[in-house]
Amino acid sequence: MGNTLTQKILAAHLGKGRLSPGEEIGIRIDQTLTQDATGTMAYLQFEAMGLKDVKTDLSVSYVDHNTIQVGFENADDHCPMFLGVKAVLARSFERIHAANLINFGVAPLVFDDPAGYDALKAGDPLEAPAFAEELQTGLVNFRNPATNGQIRCRASLSGGNWRLCWRAGC
Residue 148 has pLDDT above 70, yes or no: yes
DSSP 99: H
Q: Which is more confidently placed, 44 or 169?
A: 44
Q: Distance between CA 130 and CA 135 in Å, rounded?
A: 8
Separation of alpha carbons 151 and 143, rounded Å = 6
Q: Helices 95-103 and 159-168 meet at what angle, rounded to 10? A: 50
Helix or strand run (H / E) with residue 98: helix 95-103
Bridge partners (DSSP) of residue 79 are: none
Q: Report the C-alpha gap between 141 and 126 in whole angstroms.
A: 10
Q: Is the pLDDT of residue 67 over 60?
A: no
Would you say residue 73 has pLDDT above 50? Answer: no
Return the DSSP state at 63: -
Residue positions counted in the chain = 170
Is 134 in contact with 69 (CB distance < 8 Å)?
Answer: no
Structural domains for the chain: 85-170 (3.20.19.10)
User: Is pLDDT larger for residue 100 or for residue 160?
Assistant: 100
Phi/psi at 110 (5° precision): -110, 135
**Would the CA dihedral through 112, 113, 114, 118 be positive or negative?**
negative
Cut 0.75: pTM above it: no
